[in-house]
Structure 1
Amino acid sequence: MTSFISTPVRRIGRLLCLSSILMAPAAWADSYTDFQQASARLEAMMAKATPQSGLPRQGDPAVAALLAQITDARGLFQAPVAALQDVNQSVAVCEKAMRLGKTYYAFGMEWPLPLSGAQLQQARKEQVTQNLANYGDEMSTFFAFSMHCHAHLIGLMEQEFAAQPAEAVSGPERLRARAFSKNTAVVFTGVVQFAQVPFWSVAQKKRMLEAAAQHATANVGLMPPPLRERLLASMAEADKDLDPSLAPPLATIRQALSATACAGLCQFY
């Protein structure tokens, strides 16, 4: 698999290390419960996938309904339920959504093939390309949702650390804030860069970039200026053969990345 595809996804995959403590969900009758139940049903459907059947697709009305429940960012985060006032449970939501998106990306990658060396690498690259063609709508939906989910997490963490002066934050808490900032920046960078991979459709790129742009200021606020500069430089070719509909979110992301102030969680990075 070539690095221009695999590197952003490896970065996204690192989100799974964001927290090792996942608290068991309680049975709230709300959008959080809908998320838990719908994601469990989708995971069960995915577990039954075969090379012939493929993974669940949005074209199936039942699957579309599940994805709508899982990625209901408005219901989950604009008026967050009690469960999602907890950082660990919110992290669990973000992690589960990213795992679902990554399952679409990696479908078929572990099937044994009678190949080795360059031939095996080429076959895996072709599998990724096929997955992007087959499941781009599903992947981009989950990766866009991750931007909303992480914005909610950023808000919770900022609230927590704003309650005391930076110099009063203990060493372990500084390390926790640094780990959170680094991993969240990895996810944001991964989505922005992954959206530039040429295999996405315009609609799929727009879905991811608009979500990233909506929360660009919050995500950039976690990054030290040198990291912002590197991400901005990596977007130099993003305008090549640009569809006009992608210009506004790219401009918003670039404007956020041009900020030079480092306050709040940024200072712990």
Structure 2
Amino acid sequence: MSLSISMPLRRLGRLFCLSSALVAPAAFADSYTDFQQASGQLEALMAKATSQSGLPRLGDPGVAQLFAHIADGPRLFQAPVTALQDMNQSVALCERSTNLGKSYYQFGLTRPLPLSGAELQQARREQVTQNLADYGDEMAALFAFGMHCHAHLIGLMEKEFSSQPLPEVSSAERMRARAFSKGSSTMFVNVVQFVQVPFWNVAQKKRMLEAAGQHAAANANLMAPPLRERLLTSLVDADKDLDPALAPALAAIRQALSVTTCTGLCQYY
């Protein structure tokens, strides 16, 4: 499928609306504490980054260990962590990860340039394209984590709204559920459509799509059936020249999108 550069870059922008120093050892206690401590250490390394040194990469000393604690969604959300049963603390965790991803995506974009107008816009696009080339592995890890994190939030929202009969849900709560459903669906759609854009290598796509496939049913259940159908239609050419490693996750996503019933949070979309 032939796509312009600007379209996937805009999708990345919407989605993320995620050194020379050695990483200091930390006494990790549980998966939630691991995430918070590792995020703080990665943020500290990012704060020291320069255009010459670049941002921390998985190949740098200690950084892979930090990502193991920051981006391991299954470990974090399958554990019975009390803090993550609270919606506000869970949202804060997801936002912290998103901000790490934004730092990779936006690296160098605030640097002043002696350009204006179309030339400046072109330079910014080239910078983002370079960031994707330099930090694709790090972004893919954070995109995949975002799928796990939003699936956790979906579970909390479903639990909250399932305890209330639909006619008794207030207008304000309906709007909150609708906004949540739209935001989570947009993220899911953007990640799924990365299968068709050229910036990611197969391993990066596989990491993101497997996370999306794992939570495809939960995300599809948020969407009104016409939206599911539109996403299915957008994937009609996704099998063209598709690497076989991506086929199982894409099949799981398509199966989830083919469901036409609308119950639960879907009713608020």
2:7 to 4, 20, 26: 4
TM-score normalised per structure 1: 0.91
* CA distance in structure 1 between the partners assigned to 2:56 and 2:122 by the alignment: 26
Q: Which residue of 1 aligns with 2:72?
A: 72
Check conservation: 1:14, 1:183, Cα contact below 8 A.
no
Matched to 2:61, the amino acid is P
Instruction: Determine helix, strand or coil for the equivalent of 2:53.
Output: coil
Query: Which residue identity is paired with 2:110?
Result: E
- Native 8 Å contact 1:109 1:124 kept in 2: yes
- In structure 1, the residue matched to 2:237 is 237
Q: Bigger CA drift: 37-46 or 138-147? A: 37-46
Q: CA–CA distance in 1 between the matches of 2:88 and 2:251? A: 33
Structure 1 CA distance, aligned partners of 2:49 and 2:155?
Answer: 37
**Distance between the aligned counterparts of 1:10 and 1:97, measured in 2?**
15
Q: Which residue in 2 is equivalent to 1:22?
A: none
Residue 204 (structure 1) shift: 0.2
Q: Say if 2:228 and 2:258, in contact at 8 Å, map to a contact too.
A: yes
- SS of the residue aligned with 2:62? helix
When normalised by structure 2's length, the TM-score is 0.91
Amino acid at match of 1:169: V
Cα deviation digits, residues 226-256 of structure 1 (max 9, x gap):
1112222222332222111111111111111
- Correspondence 1:89 to 2:92: no
8 Å Cα contact 2:212-2:253 kept in structure 1: yes
Q: Shift of residue 29 of structure 1?
A: 4.0
One-letter code of the match for 2:53?
Answer: S
Aligned-residue Cα RMSD (Å) equals: 1.7
Code of the aligned partner of 1:197: V
Asked if 1:60 is matched to 2:60, the reply is yes
The separation in 1 between residues aligned to 2:89 and 2:196, in whole angstroms, is 31
State the one-letter code of the partner of 2:251: A
- Structure 1 segment 1-269 matched on structure 2, within 5 A: 2-14=5-17, 29-269=29-269
Give the distance between the partners of 1:227 and 1:10, measured in 2 at CA.
21
How far off is 1:11 after superposition?
2.6
Question: Residues 122-175 of structure 1: CA distance to partner in whole angstroms, max 9, x if unpaired?
Answer: 222221121111100000000001111111111111111111211111111111
What is the alpha-carbon distance in structure 1 between the residues aligned to residue 267 and residue 149 of structure 2? 22
Greater mean alpha carbon deviation, residues 166-175 or residues 113-122? 113-122
Matched residues, percent identical?
69
Q: Distance in 1 between matches of 2:131 and 2:110?
A: 13
**Contact preservation (8 Å) 2:216, 2:252:** yes
The answer to whether the 8 A contact 2:188-2:212 is kept is: yes
Whether the aligned pair in 1 keeps the contact of 2:16 and 2:101 (CA below 8 Å) is: no
Deviation at 1:99, TM superposition (A): 1.4
The aligned counterpart of 1:18 is none
The one-letter code matched in structure 2 to 1:137 is D
Q: Which amino acid is the alignment partner of residue 206 of structure 2?
A: K
Q: Tell me if structure 2 keeps the 8 A contact 1:148–1:215.
A: yes
Deviations 1:74-123 (A, max 9, x none): 33111230000001111111111111112111111111111222222222
Distance 1:155 1:78 in 2: 12
Question: Quick one: distance in 1 between partners of 2:220 and 2:168?
Answer: 24
Instruction: Structure 2: state its 5+ residue gaps.
Output: 19-27
- Give the AA of the match of 1:6: L
Amino acid at match of 2:13: R
Corresponding residue number in structure 1 for 2:24? none
Residues 195 and 238 in structure 2, CA contact (< 8 A), matched pair in contact too: no
> Greater relative contact order (Cα 8 A, min sep 6): structure 1 or 2?
1
Q: 1:19 maps to which residue? A: none
User: Whole-Å Cα distance in 2 between the matches of residues 14 and 166 of structure 1?
Assistant: 31
Retained in 2: the 8 A contact 1:87–1:156? yes
